[in-house]
Amino acid sequence: MQDRARHQWVATHVLPHEGEVRAWLRRHVHSLSPSDIDDLIQDAYARLWSVEFSHITNARGYLFAIIRNLLLENARRARIVPMERLGEIEMLRIPSEEPGPDRRVSARQELERLERMVAGLPEQCRRAFQLQKFQCLSQRQIALKMNIAERTVEKYLAIALGRVLDALKQDGEGAMGRPESGTNGHVSKQSTD
Nearer to other proteins by C-beta: 91 or 158? 158
Residues between 49 and 88 that touch other proteins (CB under 8 A): 49
33 binding other proteins? (CB under 8 A): no
> How many residues are recorded in the chain?
193
Note the Cα 16 to chain centre separation in Å.
Answer: 7
| Contact string (CB under 8 A) for other proteins, positions 93-132, x = contact | --------------xx-xxx-xxx-xx------x---x-x
* Nearest alpha-carbon partner for 142 in 162, 164, 160, 120: 160
Alpha carbons 159 and 129: distance in angstroms, whole number? 9
Say if CB 124 and CB 146 are below 8 A apart: yes
* Nearest alpha-carbon partner for 66 in 47, 86, 38, 85: 47
User: C-beta of 189: minimal distance to other proteins in Å?
Assistant: 28
Please give the residue ranges that form the binding site for other proteins (CB under 8 A): 1-8, 10-12, 14-15, 18, 35, 38-39, 41-49, 107-108, 110-112, 114-116, 118-119, 126, 130, 132-141, 144, 154-155, 157-158, 161-162, 164-165, 168
